Amino acid sequence: MPMLRQFTSLQRPQLYPASILLLVTLVMLLLHNHHFWYLLSQRIDLATLNGFGYLLTLLGLMLLLMLMPLLLLASHFWLKPLLTAVILVSALLSYFSDRYGTIFDVEMVRNIIANVAEGNRAEALELLSVDLFSYLSLYALPPLALMLLLKVKSESWHRAMLRRLFTLLILLGATLLLVGLNYKTTTLFSRENRDLRVYIQPIYAISSVVRYYHQQWLAAMPFTPLEPAVSIRPDTATPLIAVMVVGETGRADHWSLNGYPRATTPGLAQTEGVVNFSQTRSCGTTTAYSLPCMFSLLPASDYSPEKAERRSNVLDLIQNAAIDTYWIDNNSGCKGICQRLNAANRIQLEPQQLDQQLLPQLAQRIVRVKTDTLFVLHMLGSHGPAYYRRYPQSAEQFSPVCRSQAPHTCSREEITNAYDNTIVYTDRFLTQLIQQLQQQPYPAFMLYASDHGESLGENGIYLHGLPYAIAPEAQTHVPMVLWASDSYRQLRQLPPLPRNISANLSHDVIAHTLLGGLFLHSRDYDAKLDLWHHF
């Protein structure tokens, strides 16, 4: 008791709530993420200017994400109770992450909520241990002690709000400045090390909770099935094969079919029946946004990933029309597009391998074709920043190349050479795919389109993902080609196909071209967006 009286009699520092939040949150983030800081130090040298700049930028972003809700919620009265709860939860998350390797993703959140709802006390009690309380005393007590040491300085309600707003604006400005100064390192390193984000406590767990409830909200929304598609095919005796190839990170202006001075697409240029669409724009600048859009029957002007998720897509219509539909993926998954396809028809290949492995997968299934069939092949394509890993040595037509995952450390020539080699390999892949289809006795067509483009250092911009309104053309102008076999052209009674069509097009045409190409019509089908009507 004498010690308690001595503590209470101390002249404790007085700070405004916003300052207390800032200090305690900073200590909490530093302590509860020691495993994350260790992993980070193994991947980037924090002693270098770039590494230290990235560390400061990351810490600024973490502080900003934590303080935004806390500054809004923590009134003078609720400040310390709220901070106490946040510190204890964060320390608990850190414990289970450190000791058990637990990752608090959406599924873990779902599991925790289910256990709480079921009143599963036995499982919870088994997790209590001396080690847990020792860990909490080591990692929760310092920020708690700091919080208790600091005395909350009183101020009027409107002054408190102004001070919090001012604190937030200062932090936002400082963070934006750090992001601007360390833009290249921040974007490139973060893209290639996304796996580290799951160790950031408590931010990743909070985001998982938000995503969980967002999923619950979406699940409660009514699903809108589109009117079924019906076949109008004149001759159904022979199966028809359609192949949709989803490219990755392809730039139209680096295809020689579009006038690029380097011979990056010699195979397609020499292949009969190939039509090049030279003025095609992507739906978005990221795979997560563009991929669902490519297979949605919503126009890009009315599209959002959330809206598309609650509606049938073109693959649903095609499968429901009794056409066998396959998704074979050599990339990061179908982003929910293929979730309603038959499970056996969804094939995820070993990640980070060359696109060549798609061809034998296709060949194995073509020989078993008995009815009209659509194959969707999702390429890894020109995915950066490690462009040199996307093609075999035999496709390295241009050198020297950038052999780094940080292209800003390479010369523009090296970056361009490495990227152009990925286009050479894409051309080889598509040419071999067409040759494979030519050997089949069935009418066939192939449609290829890239999901988005790529910046290669122009104006200091790399990779992709800029907001569409300000994205450079390099990220939105994408290649698209169509090929049809002789027997397919005869089936449609098509005239000789042009080599190039320069009409302004977009990803909107893909879903309607697949429906039209498979002789399917539905209420949502738009003939004006069907490429077959361009001939």
187, 220, 253: which is the final residue of a domain? 220
- Asked if residue 247 and residue 191 are part of one domain, the reply reads no
- Within a domain: 99: yes
* Consecutive H or E run containing 2: helix 2-9
Query: Which region among 146-150, 451-455, 500-504 has the lowest average model confidence (pLDDT)?
Result: 146-150
- Asked if residue 171 and residue 302 are part of one domain, the reply reads no
Phi-psi region of 102 (alpha: psi -120 to 50; beta: other; left: phi over 0): beta
- Asked if residue 249 and residue 211 are part of one domain, the reply reads no
Give the whole-angstrom CA distance, residue 239 versus residue 247: 26
Q: Assign 375 a pLDDT band (cuts: 50, 70, 90).
A: very high
pLDDT digits (tens, 9 = 90+) for 131-171: 889 999 999 999 999 998 988 888 788 887 888 888 889 98
The gap from C-alpha 487 to its chain's centroid, in whole angstroms, comes to 39
- Within a domain: 454: yes
- Asked if residue 52 and residue 132 are part of one domain, the reply reads yes
- Within a domain: 487: yes
- pLDDT at position 100: 67
- Asked if residue 162 and residue 107 are part of one domain, the reply reads yes
- Within a domain: 5: no
pLDDT digits (tens, 9 = 90+) for 198-214: 899 999 999 989 988 88
- Asked if residue 302 and residue 158 are part of one domain, the reply reads no
Say if CB 517 and CB 229 are below 8 A apart: no
- Asked if residue 285 and residue 204 are part of one domain, the reply reads no
- Asked if residue 489 and residue 370 are part of one domain, the reply reads yes
- Within a domain: 233: no
- Asked if residue 202 and residue 276 are part of one domain, the reply reads no
Strand order across the beta sheet in which 505-506 lies: 477-478, 280-281, 505-506
* Domain CATH code at residue 383: 3.40.720.10
189, 220, 251: which is the final residue of a domain? 220
Strand order across the beta sheet in which 241-247 lies: 346-348, 324-329, 373-378, 241-247, 444-450, 480-484, 274-277, 500-501
Q: Assign 6 a pLDDT band (cuts: 50, 70, 90).
A: low
Beta strands (DSSP E) in 253-317 are: 274-277, 280-281
Domain hosting 389: range is 242-534
220, 252, 284: which is the final residue of a domain? 220
- Asked if residue 357 and residue 211 are part of one domain, the reply reads no
Q: Which residue has the tokens 């996307």?
A: 390
Task: Give the sign of the dihedral formed by CA 412, CA 413, CA 414, CA 416.
Answer: positive
- Within a domain: 291: yes
Give the whole-angstrom CA distance, residue 471 versus residue 455: 9
| Residue 49 in this model has a pLDDT that exceeds 60 | yes
- Within a domain: 237: no
- Within a domain: 232: no
Q: Assign 448 a pLDDT band (cuts: 50, 70, 90).
A: very high
| Residue 413 in this model has a pLDDT that exceeds 60 | yes
How does DSSP classify residue 234? S
The pair of three-digit structure tokens given for residue 140, joined into one six-digit string: 């929760």
* Residues recorded for the chain: 535
- pLDDT at position 407: 81
Based on the structure, what is the number of domains in the chain? 2
* Consecutive H or E run containing 445: strand 444-450
- pLDDT at position 118: 64
pLDDT digits (tens, 9 = 90+) for 380-390: 999 988 899 99
Output b/e per residue, 111-122; b: 16+ Cβ within 10 A: ebeeeeeeeeee
- Asked if residue 167 and residue 27 are part of one domain, the reply reads yes
The pair of three-digit structure tokens given for residue 213, joined into one six-digit string: 């409830």
* Consecutive H or E run containing 482: strand 480-484
Helix intervals (H) in 44-156: 49-73, 79-100, 106-117, 121-126, 130-139, 141-149
Say if CB 248 and CB 447 are below 8 A apart: no
- Asked if residue 454 and residue 328 are part of one domain, the reply reads yes
| Residue 519 in this model has a pLDDT that exceeds 90 | yes
